[in-house]
Amino acid sequence: MKGGKRNSPVFLLTISFFTRSKKNFKFSLIAMIIGVWGIIVVTSIINGFDSLLIDSITNFYPHLVVRGNYAQNSSEIDKIVNFNIIPVAVINQSKIAFSQLMELDDLSIYEGFVNEESGTEGLILGNKLANNLNVEIGDTIITVRTKGLLPIFQESKVTGIFDSGVYSYDSTFILSQNSNSKEYTGIFLKNPNKAQQFKEKYLSGYSALTWEESNETLAKAVQFDSLIAFTITFFILLISGFSISNSVSFSVFTRKKEIAILRALGFQRRQVSTIFILETFLISLVGFVLGVIAGILTCWFLIILKIPLPEGLFYVEYLPIKITASSFLIAFLINSFVSIFFSYIASRRAASLNIVESLKEE
């Protein structure tokens, strides 16, 4: 109870200082808003890339690829497909592209991705590959593969075009159904995030790759983008911190008499310092709320705008956005830390003011 009575004047003075110090912290407030806005937009874009890539990859590509035949049953397995991967060159009139022909024993697992002509057998091309070759459903193309040193030419009808959502698949892969013996087994799990655990538990005697290992380039691309984005955000918040420090220092300079009177009335150094820290924290909360509003509106605008990305560079067609609770939590924690840390450093000057000299100056 005594502690509460002792601290209540500190909170009252903090509120009083806060309502009268808007001009002193104007630029700090703007810097905080920009910092929070930047964190939310950046983390939402990063989350969008991560979510879209993981969903696209795990929906289209097997979660585990095993060399050889794997037929053991497990409650963790959703479905199994056997396939071959064959490097081929695809020719249509004067255009040529180098692709990966994926021969499967069952094409039904890709029904949701394919716009297929019913009742016919042939090749199913990725939509980007089809565009590059100027191919439509029903056209005939030539595939070239090697057997030993000899090239094998084969005419095939295009019976479908698929869209996986991942540029590297859509621009490279060709699907076809073939009942011949297969070199690889593709395993789709009910939970793709458990691919590594499944590999360690059941596939120790097999040569196998998880979807994360097979798509390591995609993961590294996202990590690199994240590093650049967070570096930019860090410097924005650093500028915000120095702005806070300058604002608190200016506030201390303009309130020397008030601080001296408080010290003369028995306020401890720690209590005086706490007043300025709490005042800055309250301002940071205002900055956080306004920054969150600005961030949400910006993300909403980006979702509607659908900003196109360079094909083949980011693996997706449009800038993906996904707002999560973690974005707000990260923004709040970083913003609070910066405001408290820099205000603490600057507020030490207020606590160390000489009472007599400050009153004489006034």
Of residues 148, 68, 59, the one with CA closest to residue 110: 59
pLDDT band at 311 (very low <50, low <70, confident <90, very high): low
In the structure encoding, which two tokens stand for residue 17, read together? 């200082």
Confidence at residue 226, expressed as pLDDT on a 0 to 100 scale: 66
Confidence at residue 187, expressed as pLDDT on a 0 to 100 scale: 93
Confidence at residue 133, expressed as pLDDT on a 0 to 100 scale: 92
Confidence at residue 263, expressed as pLDDT on a 0 to 100 scale: 62
Question: Rounded mean pLDDT of the chain?
Answer: 79
Give the per-residue SS3 of the chain.
Answer: CHHHHHHHHHHHHHHHHHHHCCCCCHHHHHHHHHHHHHHHHHHHHHHHHHHHHHHHHHHHCCCEEEECCCCCCCCCEEEEEEEEEEEEEEEECCEEEEEEEEEECCCHHHHHHEEECCCCCCEEEEHHHHHHHCCCCCCEEEEEEEECCEEEEEEEEEEEEECCCCHHHHCCEEEEECCCCCCEEEEEECCHHHHHHHHHHHCCCCCEEEHHHHCHHHHHHHHHHHHHHHHHHHHHHHHHHHHHHHHHHHHHHHCHHHHHHHHHCCCCHHHHHHHHHHHHHHHHHHHHHHHHHHHHHHHHHHHHHCCECCCCCCCCCECCCCCCHHHHHHHHHHHHHHHHHHHHHHHHHHHCCCHHHHHHHC
> What digits encode the pLDDT tens for the residues 201-247?
889 888 999 988 887 776 676 667 667 766 776 777 777 777 777 66
Asked if residue 120 has pLDDT above 70, the reply is no
Confidence at residue 61, expressed as pLDDT on a 0 to 100 scale: 86
Residues 283/15, Cβ–Cβ less than 8 Å:
no
Residue type (1 letter), 337: F
Alpha carbons 290 and 11: distance in angstroms, whole number? 23
Range in 57-61, 146-150, 170-174 with the lowest mean pLDDT: 146-150
**% of the chain exceeding 90 in pLDDT:** 19
Range in 84-98, 180-194, 243-257 with the lowest mean pLDDT: 243-257
> What digits encode the pLDDT tens for the residues 33-77?
888 888 888 888 888 877 777 777 788 889 999 998 888 888 899
Range in 75-84, 110-119, 351-360 with the lowest mean pLDDT: 351-360
Q: What separation in angstroms does the CA of 339 have from each of 24, 236, 244?
A: 15, 13, 7
In the structure encoding, which two tokens stand for residue 131, read together? 């565009």
Confidence at residue 274, expressed as pLDDT on a 0 to 100 scale: 74
> What digits encode the pLDDT tens for the residues 266-288?
666 677 677 777 777 888 888 89
pLDDT band at 4 (very low <50, low <70, confident <90, very high): very low
Residue 351's contacts (CB-CB under 8 Å, 6 or more residues apart) are 269, 270, 272, 273
pLDDT band at 3 (very low <50, low <70, confident <90, very high): very low
Asked if residue 359 has pLDDT above 80, the reply is no
Compute the residue count for the chain.
362
Residues 64/196, Cβ–Cβ less than 8 Å:
no
Instruction: Answer yes or no: pTM beyond 0.85.
Output: no
Alpha carbons 328 and 348: distance in angstroms, whole number? 30
Of residues 84, 106, 89, the one with CA closest to residue 141: 89
Asked if residue 2 has pLDDT above 60, the reply is no
pLDDT top residue among 198 and 1 = 198
Asked if residue 174 has pLDDT above 80, the reply is yes
Most confident of 109-113, 152-156, 322-326: 152-156
